[in-house]
Amino acid sequence: MSYEFYNVVHVIGVIFLFTALGALAATAGSERTPLRRIASVAHGVSLALIFVAGFGLLARLGHFGAIPAWAYLKMSLWAVLAAAVVPLRRRPEWAPVLWVLMPVVGGLAAWLAVVQPFG
């Protein structure tokens, strides 16, 4: 598949991820609601899309054997966003702070993809 295909799938995954995280932050502390269940499923599916498309993009960029350091750091930032559901569930009072910090983490991941620093 083409670089453009993987890029579009990756961006769609990112959009779904932040939509899901926003819904989970908005419903933090509430009992089980249909929105919370849909957002939880969307969170997992979006992370899978980001992961698969991200590796497709790396392959299209020619990184078959050694993954560059910026990509490892980017994967670490996605892992932080994946784990963000835990404090949203266990500490709903942190939701406003996380709601502000999660896009900052996503912005750092985007910067790493665009600039591709340190090899």
Tens digits of per-residue pLDDT, 65-95? 788 999 999 999 999 999 999 999 999 999 9
Q: At residue 57, what is the residue type? A: L
Query: Tens digits of per-residue pLDDT, 7-54?
Result: 999 999 999 999 999 999 999 888 788 999 999 999 999 999 999 999
Question: Which ranges of the chain does DSSP label H, i.e. alpha helix?
Answer: 3-26, 34-60, 69-83, 85-90, 95-115
Q: What pTM did the predictor assign?
A: 0.89
